């Protein structure tokens, strides 16, 4: 089974802190994604990566950055956390050129106080 | 750009009743289409997918969906709902030819099941 693992289920951080959300996949997928999920808005794409050290902005990249130093690992970074970044964050991976579904981690619920 | 609309934010059905969740997409060519389910506090699990071929697609947990090109729809159905089906359901579209590798999701439909 494909497994996408996010390092934390719940996080509470203070405003202004630098926050790292980690994601690891075990299926050698080329593509990895970070989504943000908010009630009534569905999933919105923050960033994605199609190869090691390669990244592209998604639909809502402001306030976030990412890092992909190894193929299996994709990190989301909140440079200076703000209360409006309180949300559920979902990591996903997908193989090749898009002829497959995306596989999701269990999500990280981040609260910024 | 592709987009997905799920017009029903919240649906309540009785256990044993039939279910249909609506999904409309906007995309210039034949899309890849998906339905995912999310139980409370969990990630998303794939229910079914459509890539090509037969427009009626069978998925897990007794769900099916029908691709209707003329209506730009991909509605999810289940003939008899179980209490364990209470969850949030997301429709998603994937592009075949734009190079966008990420799926685009609808806003979701929350299903409540009454005993």
Task: Give the nearest chain A residue to B48 (CA atoms).
Answer: A101
User: Is some CB atom of chain A closer than 8 A to the CB atom of B42?
Assistant: yes
Would strands A10-13 and A108-112 be described as parallel, antiparallel, or unpaired? parallel
CB hemisphere CA count around A85 (13 angstroms): 28
Nearest CA to B75 among B38, B39, B47? Answer: B47
Interacting residues of B3 by C-beta distance below 8 A, sequence separation 6+:
B25, B26, B27, B93, B104
User: Is some CB atom of chain B closer than 8 A to the CB atom of A101?
Assistant: yes
Interacting residues of A80 by C-beta distance below 8 A, sequence separation 6+:
A16, A17, A18, A63
Contact between chains at A42 and B107 (C-beta distance less than 8 A):
yes
CB B4 within 8 A of CB B104: yes
Q: How far apart (Å, rounded) are the C-alpha atoms in residues A60 and A4?
A: 22
User: Is some CB atom of chain A closer than 8 A to the CB atom of B8?
Assistant: no
- In tens, the pLDDT along A35-71 reads 999 988 999 999 999 899 999 999 999 999 999 999 9
List CB contacts (< 8 A) between A9 and chain B.
Answer: 41
pLDDT in tens, chain B (115 residues): 789 999 999 999 999 999 999 999 998 777 899 999 999 888 899 999 998 888 999 999 999 999 999 999 999 999 999 999 999 999 999 876 656 678 899 999 999 999 9
Contact between chains at B101 and A105 (C-beta distance less than 8 A):
no
CB B95 within 8 A of CB A48: no
Interacting residues of B28 by C-beta distance below 8 A, sequence separation 6+:
none
Nearest CA to A87 among A39, A40, A26? Answer: A39
Residue with tokens 């790292």: A20
User: Is some CB atom of chain A closer than 8 A to the CB atom of B31?
Assistant: no
């Amino acid at each position: 089974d494909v497994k996408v693992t996010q390092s934390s289920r719940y996080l509470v951080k203070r405003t202004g802190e630098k926050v790292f959300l980690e994601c690891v996949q075990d299926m050698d997928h080329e593509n990895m994604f970070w989504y943000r999920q908010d009630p009534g808005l569905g999933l919105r794409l923050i960033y994605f990566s199609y190869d090691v050290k390669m990244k592209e902005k998604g639909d809502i990249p402001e306030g976030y950055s990412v890092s992909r130093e190894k193929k299996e690992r994709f990190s989301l970074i909140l440079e200076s956390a703000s209360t409006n970044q309180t949300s559920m964050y979902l990591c996903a991976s997908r193989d090749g050129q898009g002829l497959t579904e995306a596989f999701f981690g269990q999500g990280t619920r981040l609260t910024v106080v | 750009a592709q987009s997905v609309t799920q017009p029903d934010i919240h649906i309540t059905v009785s256990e044993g009743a039939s279910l249909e969740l609506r999904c409309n997409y906007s995309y210039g060519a034949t899309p890849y289409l998906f339905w995912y389910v999310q139980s409370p506090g969990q990630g998303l699990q794939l229910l079914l997918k459509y890539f090509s071929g037969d427009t009626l697609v069978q998925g897990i947990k007794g769900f099916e969906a029908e691709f209707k090109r003329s209506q730009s729809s991909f509605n999810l159905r289940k003939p008899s709902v179980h209490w364990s089906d209470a969850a949030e359901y997301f429709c998603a579209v994937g592009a075949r030819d734009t190079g966008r590798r990420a799926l685009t999701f609808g806003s979701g439909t929350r299903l409540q099941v009454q005993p």
